[in-house]
Amino acid sequence: MIAAVIQARMNSTRLPGKILIQVCGKPFLQHLIERIKNSKKINKIIVATSLNKEDDVIEEFCNKYSISCYRGSENDVLSRYKDASDKFKIDTIVRLTSDTPLLDGKMVDDTVQVFLENNADFVSNCYPLPRTYPDGTNVEVFSKKILNEMYEKAKKPSEREHVTFYVLDRPKEYTIIKVDLEKDFSKYRFNLDYKEDYELLKILFEKFYENNQGFTIFDCIEFLKQNPEIQQINSKIIPFQGILKSFDIDAKMGFSKDKEFFNP
């Protein structure tokens, strides 16, 4: 079984409760799930959240919309993925994050197809850096075998929090493939992480959603090209702050901060 596992939580420090903020009458998390349901490769969608009390609302959301939900560790996200994959008997894991509401089924399928066609351990459209896909469209694909191996061997806090960093940091040990676009669109940001991100995404959804619920990032990019002042709304945000913070924690615990795959 190929399953999309969407990690989600409510206690974002930069934009609390962001995934359940509504736009066009639906929470961002619902928009993401509806877009992923258009995938032809995904057999099941699972939302993986924490056991924290504030994440009860995520489980309630999943129950309301008949979405499978797993609850586990808040900070050890790798263990959350491992336990969810055990519970739902997943063979291939498609790792997604809940702050990417413009991700769509085709982007997921493009990455999954590369994984299926190649004897790779890990395939993504975002790592290793640099990337060509916009920020906010991350897809990572790996097998249950590799997930189990990461779970057993990963020791650094960054590896436990960011799930796949153990493999990414060992390119000589694992076969890693990055999926790229023909053109570089990495300057565009479609993440939902800050207030400015919300403002831009709200404009995009209100522009396209009513007449075209399947609108793509390329529709959005063309619109932003014609309206550069809108792209400027979140263009000053410095990306990867959460990841860089986890590298600092690694260093405090005596681990190296050097990452061959991470060169923003």
The phi and psi torsions of 239 (rounded to 5 degrees) equal -75, 170
DSSP string, 75-97: S-HHHHHHHHHHHHT-SEEEEEE
Identify whether 262 is part of a domain.
Answer: no
The phi and psi torsions of 36 (rounded to 5 degrees) equal -70, -30
Identify whether 177 is part of a domain.
Answer: yes
Which DSSP category does 237 fall into?
A: P
Identify whether 120 is part of a domain.
Answer: yes
CA distance 238 to 141: 26
Q: Which helix (H) or strand (E) holds 23?
A: strand 22-23
Half-sphere exposure of 58 (CA within 13 A, CB side): 28
Whether 81 and 129 have beta carbons less than 8 Å apart is answered as no
Identify the pLDDT of residue 96: 98
**How far apart, in Å, are the Cα atoms of 206 and each of 25, 37, 248?**
10, 21, 39
Q: Tokens 């263990």 — which residue?
A: 79
Identify the pLDDT of residue 240: 86
Whether 94 and 108 have beta carbons less than 8 Å apart is answered as yes
Identify whether 46 is part of a domain.
Answer: yes
Domain count, the chain: 1
Identify whether 130 is part of a domain.
Answer: yes
Identify whether 263 is part of a domain.
Answer: no
For the domain that residue 141 is a member of, what is the CATH number?
Answer: 3.90.550.10
Instruction: Name the residue range of residue 104's domain.
Output: 2-252
Identify the pLDDT of residue 256: 79
Mean pLDDT by runs of 10 across the 264 residues of the chain is: 97 88 97 97 98 97 97 96 98 97 97 96 95 97 98 95 96 96 96 97 98 96 97 93 86 80 73
Identify whether 157 is part of a domain.
Answer: yes
Identify the pLDDT of residue 78: 98
Q: 3-class SS at 134? A: coil
Identify whether 237 is part of a domain.
Answer: yes
